[in-house]
Structure 1
């Protein structure tokens, strides 16, 4: 094919310009290398100091911190049992596990009921199919912990996962902590490639962003949140595909930042087919685009410091970069078909020999940080990385088209395999299985990893009623302390308690005790792209003794009381401690 000289010249100029932009965006990521190293040095120094009798990392890291683990599920019968068994076997025992079935069409809810009968700390709730965000919000309504931990149904915890997450709350401004999620099903070519390259995203990037205090996302499959932070910012939006990303950005707009806890490991399933990988990454890309649209005012906003600047880089590298990459491939294809020599062969060889060692070096460096050099056995999959990168560029292009055409937002949940092929995760499950007389199948077995005997029909009870607490939860020692600002009312659903007593849950009413104005909710404040901060301190009226919303006011707390008032922020009043009667827990 013969092209006009001027057209060829224009294509070459465009190729050089676009290639330069891509090169600059890529070179910026090299800054992550020393920052990630400094994170590890500082973390090891702190741990060594604590072993020698230094101060505790944080008050929340103690065994007295009550953690609510919320596990939503839709058709998760193959993996939900492994998840719950691993969570219950945690070294941190002061917890509750709330399982929320989102209208599954399989036996997920029946397995949840069986798990609730097996463990006293587990509760099972079901609701009509409403999406993951609605299921998480429903579980958060029933939660009573100081820390809320959102977990996917396929996650497998290690014994110290929750303890390491709690160590991340080392500052009152840390509103959320993200752990390290790794593939658990390394039985296929695709999942082995994802295992290798995921170390760069977690071991390298997240450590560096933690140092810069601009971690932009708390992963949806292992994210811990302060109750106070969620009460101030509101819960998850139910009209976005990237609810975890949007919540992280919204928390930052309220003055809270996210932290990274690399030793808080959870092993979760990665897509084992190209179709599943495509659906997952298109959903992630659409979630990013929706979050950018909602919080566009935060991008490059100096008010948010390094976080605002990093959001600009995120837009360039995650949205613009894929488009430029596809443009380069298109231009190069056109020039090659016209028999145009782009660069001398020696230059291509130089670029190849510079690029491959750099990529391999970053992977090895990230594995060293993650203490996961055993994953080098999958390094032979690295030549597929360029093809994977091109595929990810096409997912962004597809997401842009779906958003431009206002296509319906579908969850596109992955098909679970139940494969547990990672040694650390399998050893934890096997140890738990020994106490139950069960076994964990090998990765080669094409069966779910847990076999559970379901209770017979009708074993759930006859619907006995239990007393209601002031916020729609049950009364008792673990009743919810304060209501969350929710985007919408939840419909009625059935809850199965460990003693198999069924009760009917009422829709939660969003009432505030004589506040004078509504609590900030995602639907009211964030939908328009504006986040409202609570600056005033209205004094609530004294509730009557018969008011179900009244909470007793204790005497002045002692210095050792873990529920003493929350320390104030330097630039913001302790809004939640003043808006609600009663003491707030320690940050």
Structure 2
């Protein structure tokens, strides 16, 4: 049986080697995906048909962004689409702007909700009102690339069991250190994870900012659950459990705004962490069925990441207490020693690989390597704290009530 010191050493090794192992897995998986499914794909796929795509744009208090978002959608090169904007009881001029656009554009419809019911409810309403067999869901501050729908629709045409296709979010506000770090994060963390999960066969979550769904698949799983704080993660798991195929299409670009204040970033990451734990809580029944075995590693990886966050934060607290007050507690190491230096080096290599893979979409993005190297020092602690804070909220939150939203801090509204 392990004594307390050997257990402590094990936990110290876990804090360092868990992210090290995941970094290596992500680099291998993302590189394989790039060479197998991404490299050399430069021309638009030729489509034999152009099925109607219903673009759902839920919005609440988005008067600064909604006009530009719909303008970008309407500028799409895809020839057969309709736009359904859902105003979730906005208290600003969002509804007025949407009604003006509706009066000017024949293929734009607006749904007006009398009460703030949250994004999942708005998406349910939009899906039920839609005419298309494919639903593209984008955020109200996102700029859709003109050719994104061609890349997305090709998956649905060629794969009858494709239930969802998630696109490639690109950060467009890059004026602050936080925003520049997130530019690298979306390439060297989020993009690499999605590539790797696609190779392994199970994508943990589509990107809520740009995700397309086969309407038949969404209806098959009962639409979006209105009581989940993160609609994108939950709908992905519902589709996976019904054996619909989830794909990642890096050529489907969408330009987004990210938080540029610590408060805004904290609120976003707490919501992400809470949503992830809520999904783990709701879908814990996958362990009862052998048919769901391919989801077990994804489930386990998320649980291990939560354990890592708690261990990391607890070790940090013990280290700080020992630093200012001699308690006699066992010494723990949180500052880089040889293991920390090794981890920092591997992370740097991961960032370099991720930015290099995305050079295809942004030629100058490798230049953000200087900014993303701050990720381990600032973001690891932030995300660990967010997970520690959000996990009890997710585990003990009374489910059933609509998960409503407030407009987040997304930084400065800049044009491409």
How far residue 419 of structure 1 moved from its aligned partner, in angstroms, is: 1.8
1:414 aligned partner: 408
Matches within 5 A, 1:536-555: none
Q: Deviations over 1:240-283 (max 9, x none)?
A: 10221111101111111211001111111111211111111111
CA distance in 1, matches of 2:36, 2:241: 27
Corresponding position: 1:37 with 2:23: no
Corresponding position: 1:380 with 2:366: no
Matches within 5 A, 1:120-131: 120-128=106-114, 129-131=116-118
Matches within 5 A, 1:142-541: 142-169=129-156, 170-299=158-287, 302-317=290-305, 319-337=306-324, 338=326, 348-371=336-359, 372=362, 374-381=364-371, 382-383=373-374, 385-406=376-397, 411-416=405-410, 419-420=413-414, 426=416
SS of 1:148 mapped into structure 2: strand
If asked which structure has higher relative contact order (CA below 8 Å, sep 6+), I would say 2
1:562 aligned partner: none
Corresponding position: 1:100 with 2:86: yes
8 Å CA contact 1:15–1:331 kept in 2: the answer is no
1:116 aligned partner: 102
- Aligned counterpart for 1:89 among listed residues 61, 67, 75: 75
8 Å CA contact 2:275–2:394 kept in 1: the answer is no
How far residue 81 of structure 1 moved from its aligned partner, in angstroms, is: 1.0
Gaps of 5+ in 2: none
2:21 aligned partner: 28
Across the aligned residues of Structure 1 and Structure 2, the Cα RMSD in angstroms comes to 2.7
8 Å CA contact 2:56–2:86 kept in 1: the answer is yes
295-304 or 77-86: bigger deviation: 295-304
CA distance in 2, matches of 1:344, 1:109: 54
CA distance in 1, matches of 2:92, 2:70: 18
8 Å CA contact 1:157–1:265 kept in 2: the answer is yes
How far residue 389 of structure 1 moved from its aligned partner, in angstroms, is: 1.1
SS of 1:245 mapped into structure 2: helix
How far residue 354 of structure 1 moved from its aligned partner, in angstroms, is: 2.2
How far residue 306 of structure 1 moved from its aligned partner, in angstroms, is: 2.9
CA distance in 1, matches of 2:303, 2:258: 25
SS of 2:213 mapped into structure 1: strand
TM-score, normalised relative to structure 1 = 0.64
How far residue 301 of structure 1 moved from its aligned partner, in angstroms, is: 5.4
SS of 1:215 mapped into structure 2: coil
Taking a change above 3 Å as real, the CA distance of residues 360 and 168 of structure 1, as seen in their structure-2 partners, is farther
Taking a change above 3 Å as real, the CA distance of residues 34 and 413 of structure 1, as seen in their structure-2 partners, is same
CA distance in 1, matches of 2:323, 2:90: 52
How far residue 388 of structure 1 moved from its aligned partner, in angstroms, is: 1.7
8 Å CA contact 2:356–2:366 kept in 1: the answer is no
8 Å CA contact 1:180–1:202 kept in 2: the answer is no
How far residue 315 of structure 1 moved from its aligned partner, in angstroms, is: 1.7
How far residue 62 of structure 1 moved from its aligned partner, in angstroms, is: 4.4
Taking a change above 3 Å as real, the CA distance of residues 392 and 410 of structure 1, as seen in their structure-2 partners, is farther
135-144 or 367-376: bigger deviation: 367-376
8 Å CA contact 1:158–1:266 kept in 2: the answer is yes
How far residue 180 of structure 1 moved from its aligned partner, in angstroms, is: 1.0
How far residue 343 of structure 1 moved from its aligned partner, in angstroms, is: 8.8
CA distance in 2, matches of 1:89, 1:13: 61
CA distance in 1, matches of 2:214, 2:333: 57
How far residue 332 of structure 1 moved from its aligned partner, in angstroms, is: 2.5
Q: Deviations over 1:198-254 (max 9, x none)?
A: 212233111111111110111111110011111211110111102211111011111
CA distance in 1, matches of 2:20, 2:344: 14
CA distance in 1, matches of 2:358, 2:57: 26
2:63 aligned partner: 77
Taking a change above 3 Å as real, the CA distance of residues 194 and 350 of structure 1, as seen in their structure-2 partners, is same
How far residue 25 of structure 1 moved from its aligned partner, in angstroms, is: 2.3
132-141 or 381-390: bigger deviation: 381-390
SS of 2:78 mapped into structure 1: coil
1:575 aligned partner: none
Taking a change above 3 Å as real, the CA distance of residues 300 and 258 of structure 1, as seen in their structure-2 partners, is farther
Taking a change above 3 Å as real, the CA distance of residues 384 and 251 of structure 1, as seen in their structure-2 partners, is closer
2:119 aligned partner: 132
CA distance in 2, matches of 1:13, 1:308: 29
More helix, by proportion = 2
